[in-house]
């Protein structure tokens, strides 16, 4: 796949904004960021990215942009025929690629345990993620579906203890791991689902709680 510089930059911008704000930018914000004279120019480039299978445009939504990372695209490669040394060598010989371990599962629903050891590795295009991810977790559940994070997706996680209000985070509650949107108020911390069927998780003041990382994109295999 070959993208123009503008469309590659736009894809990186979408990932950066979603990672930082927890939601995609509007077409007006995209046009302002790239200096397009009309909002429809942003729409033109978004439609081109959708045609390439890199994003999905959700009709009827003001910020209806969902990042999609389909199997066989630049950012994901079929690794079934590679062992770990092959993956490491491939990543080492190509600065544009990262070999990320799948460390286990993360709940988009009720929290579930996450495995400590890598299940396997996936090669991705590092330019498609911002900030740079450190590992992948497999999603189980549908509590984040309105943010385009679906059951079975692999979410890319940038390892950090710091996160801003409104960011989508991977958090630990005791020995359990979950992915939710972070809400910080004067009264405390809540982890918000993006599905009305689920209730927020209120973090008690004495809870064993920590931010493990921030969400920076996903990999979806066809």
The yes-or-no answer on residue 143 being catalytic is yes
Which member of 99, 130, 143, 183 is catalytic? Answer: 143
**Catalytic-labelled residue, pool 99, 130, 180, 183:** 180
What would the pLDDT profile of 6-27 be if each residue is shown by its tens digit? 888 898 888 888 877 777 888 8
Three-state secondary structure call for residue 136: strand
Tell me if the pTM is above 0.85: no
Annotated catalytic, 180?
yes
Whether 127 is in a domain gets the answer: yes
Please indicate, yes or no, if residue 76 is contained in any of the structural domains. no
Residues 17 and 89 in one domain: no
Same domain, 39 and 114: no
pLDDT per position as a tens digit, 36-92: 888 888 889 998 898 888 888 887 776 788 888 543 333 333 333 334 444 444 444
- Regarding whether 141 and 107 lie in a shared domain, the answer is yes
Q: Where residue 182 sits, what CATH number does that domain have?
A: 2.10.109.10
Q: Is 112 found in the same domain as 59?
A: no
| 3 state SS for 78-124 | CCCCCCHHHHHHHHHCCCCEEEEEEEEEEECCCCECCCCCCCEEEEE
pLDDT in tens, 196-213: 999 999 999 999 999 999
């Amino acid at each position: 796949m070959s993208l123009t510089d503008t469309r590659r930059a736009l894809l990186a911008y979408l990932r950066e904004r979603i990672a930082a704000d927890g939601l995609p930018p509007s077409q007006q914000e995209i046009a302002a960021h790239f200096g397009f004279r009309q909002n429809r120019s942003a729409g033109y480039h978004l439609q081109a990215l959708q045609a390439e299978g890199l994003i999905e445009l959700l009709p009827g939504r003001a910020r209806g942009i969902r990042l999609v990372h389909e199997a066989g695209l630049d950012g994901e490669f079929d690794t079934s025929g590679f062992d770990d040394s092959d993956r490491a060598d491939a990543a080492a010989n190509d600065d544009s690629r990262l070999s990320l371990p799948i460390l286990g599962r993360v709940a988009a629903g009720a929290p579930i345990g996450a495995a400590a050891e890598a299940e396997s590795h996936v090669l991705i295009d590092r330019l498609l993620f911002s900030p740079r991810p450190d590992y992948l977790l497999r999603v189980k559940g549908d509590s984040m579906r309105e943010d385009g994070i679906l059951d079975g997706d692999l979410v890319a996680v940038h390892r950090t203890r710091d996160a801003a209000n409104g960011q989508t985070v991977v958090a630990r509650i005791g020995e359990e791991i979950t992915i939710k949107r972070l809400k910080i108020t004067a009264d405390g911390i809540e982890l918000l689902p993006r599905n009305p069927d689920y209730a927020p998780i209120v973090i008690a003041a004495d809870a064993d709680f920590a931010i493990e990382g921030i969400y920076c994109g996903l990999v979806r295999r066809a």
